[in-house]
Amino acid sequence: MDHTPARPIALAHLGVIAVRGVEARKFLNGQLSQDVLGLPADRVELAGLHNPQGRMVALLRLVPLGANDLLCILPRTALTDTLATLRKFLLRTKATLTDESASWIIEGLADDAILPAAVGSARIDGTEISWRHAVDGRVMRLRPASSEIDASGINTTDASDHSSAQEKAIADWQFADIAAGLPEITDSTRGEFVAQMLNLDVLGGISFTKGCYTGQEVIARAHYRGRVKRRAQRFRITAMQHVSPLQPGQKVKLIDGGSARTAQILNVAQGSQGIECLAVTGFGSATSESVDSPNDIPTLTAVALPMSYALPE
């Protein structure tokens, strides 16, 4: 399956929060689900920022810069709220939190033969940092923005200035993320789901040994005391009887024989191969109907996640 761009694309929908200072890692370690103190220089890892109830309010990719500093990659739409949340806990910590989105170019590549195949493997090449983004081989690359215009002629520092070709390339990238089972938190799903509901444990984004962080008790209880009954799963939208598209946060009713269960849309994207979504629900195969609007009845067909992406039974 080829969801990947043939050339690097500017992932201008993503932004960068820089956390710098001698206590930067210590600070983030007390806020995020990832073991930030133990994050090596050759790894880029997912991490969740949660509220005290264990519900995820942001999903970050942590890019280490030396012994102390880190860059956090996340959707630009979530950047302001995430900065505000983190700053509440900064207090007298010897660290700074800054929006550095304008200082960096984030690109997506189809592959990089030099990088190891393992997801999260990273390489520093001068001022550029590349890492294996997903099991399909795609790579993300971070490099300083020397000017507003990159080599392709695309303005990469202004998220509103997209050509139609760039918008399509980003849509295909997001479609591929859904196929790879990679979730994304949006304004509509902020604070809705415990980490395991988004399969963050399967994706290596939770440390159960590093100690306390905001929301840790709820997440640990879900891990040690029982199976998580609802998880993000992949669906293909095979029919729509109304023009309104599905939206993140929307609830649909999945019908399986005589029983029904509710699914909540997490991410949805339209690529060259159709429309797919990640939705948080129980397990099983089912058709669907909308519980938000009786006139908008999509048909969702369950699609397998990658073989390396095994959900706990």
144-162 pLDDT, tens digit per residue, is: 997 444 434 444 444 444 5
- Position 154 scores a pLDDT of 46
Which pLDDT value is given to residue 164?
82
What is the tens place of the pLDDT at every residue in 183-195? 999 999 999 999 9
| Better-predicted residue by pLDDT, 285 or 243 | 285
Please answer whether residues 33 and 219 qualify as being in contact, where contact means their C-beta atoms are separated by less than 8 angstroms: yes
Question: What tens digit of pLDDT does each residue of 4-38 get?
Answer: 445 899 999 999 999 999 999 999 999 999 999 99
**Superfamily the domain 9-179 falls into:** Probable tRNA modification gtpase trme; domain 1 (3.30.1360.120)
Q: What is the pTM of this model?
A: 0.88
Q: What are the residues whose beta carbons fall under 8 Å from the beta carbon of 66, sequence distance 6 or more?
A: 41
- Per-residue pLDDT for 216 more than 80? yes
The topology under which CATH files domain 229-305 is: Elongation Factor Tu (Ef-tu); domain 3 (2.40.30)
Is the pLDDT at 284 greater than 70? The verdict is no
Spatial CA neighbour of 4 closest among 184, 276, 236, 271: 271
Nearest to 240 by CA among 261, 268, 212: 268
Q: For 133-142, what is each residue's pLDDT tens digit?
A: 999 999 999 9
Tell me what the pLDDT averaged over the chain comes to.
87
Give the burial class of 121: count Cβ atoms within 10 A of its Cβ; 0-12 exposed, 13-18 middle, 19 or more buried: middle
Q: Where in the chain is the domain with CATH 3.30.1360.120?
A: 9-179
Cα–Cα dist 77/248, whole Å: 14
Q: Inform me whether the pLDDT recorded for 295 exceeds 70.
A: no
pLDDT over 70, % of the chain: 84
Segments of the chain assigned E as strands: 9-10, 14-20, 45-50, 56-65, 69-75, 96-99, 104-109, 122-125, 128-132, 139-144, 231-240, 251-256, 259-271, 274-281, 287-290, 298-303
Name the CA dihedral angle for 125, 128, 129, 132, rounded to a multiple of 10 degrees.
-90
How far lies 204's CA from each of 35, 43, 68, 96, 119, in Å? 10, 12, 21, 26, 10
pLDDT tens digits along 77-106? 999 999 999 999 999 999 999 999 999 999
In angstroms, the CA 5 to CA 171 distance is 11
Domain with CATH 2.40.30.160 in the chain: 229-305
For 245-274, the pLDDT digits (tens) are 789 999 988 876 656 788 999 999 987 778
**Residue 297 confidence (pLDDT):** 59
d(CA 278, CA 168): 19
Cβ atoms of 292 and 264 within 8 Å: the answer is no
